[in-house]
Amino acid sequence: SPTAEQVIALRKWFWKTAFSRRYSAQTDDKMNADIAFMKRLVEGDSSGLKEYVPEITKDVLVKQKFSKSHPYTRALLLLLAQKAPLDLVNGAKIDLGDALSAFNRKEYHHIFPRAFLMGRGVSADKINSLCNFCFLPAAANKKIAHRSPSDYIFNLVPEASKKIILESNLMPLRMEVYSEDNYEGFLALRAEMIGQFFDSLVI
């Protein structure tokens, strides 16, 4: 029965470790250290949180490729889920239970569509940047298909609720990155937004 303060500390511990690849090597030592931290937390001492240093940066978010096998992909999806994302096409709440349990690629969307970027000569690794993905049901994904952001953001995303929909997906509100199909600018702005939201959860 953790106290409210302990729950906050546990959440901060989770996010910090999720974005640090803490268990990528020497797992026994890390587990022992975590057990020791948890024992201190039971006694009301959460000072050990400062020893957990996440590795998430804007550069990492932009350069890391979306991959089911990479812990940052799974961590980012859980981070995005905290915002209760809305369907880009109709503004409905996305069923995160289905999307996360199946880990179905059809439930994720390249915000700047793959075919569109490939036509511009963008490399596959850059196309698949973590910052270029959001939750999106398969039906809505099909409607967007290969349409450019300068097309679908203004013609498919409901105008009346556009701000709320974009915010729920941690997508930039600067419309010029979409109207100008500015992929580089979009990646930089979205990495900043994701980083700021992450900071709000661990500070």
- CA pair distance 34, 103, nearest whole angstrom: 28
Note the pLDDT of residue 69: 83
- Token look-up 């470790």 returns 17
Secondary structure (3-state) at 154? helix
Find out whether 135 and 169 touch, Cβ atoms under 8 Å.
Answer: yes
Q: Which amino acid is at 63?
A: K
- CA pair distance 13, 20, nearest whole angstrom: 11
Find out whether 87 and 136 touch, Cβ atoms under 8 Å.
Answer: yes
Note the pLDDT of residue 195: 96
Note the pLDDT of residue 79: 95
- CA pair distance 143, 4, nearest whole angstrom: 44
Note the pLDDT of residue 28: 87
**Residue numbers in the chain where pLDDT is lower than 70:** 101-106
Find out whether 7 and 14 touch, Cβ atoms under 8 Å.
Answer: no
Note the pLDDT of residue 98: 75
Note the pLDDT of residue 104: 56
- Token look-up 């948890």 returns 38
pTM of whole model > 0.85? yes
Report residue 57 CA to chain centroid gap.
13
Provide the percentage of residues in the chain whose pLDDT is more than 70: 96
Note the pLDDT of residue 25: 73
Q: Which amino acid is at 199?
A: D
Note the pLDDT of residue 44: 93
Find out whether 11 and 79 touch, Cβ atoms under 8 Å.
Answer: no
**Residue 77 CB neighbours (<10 A):** 21
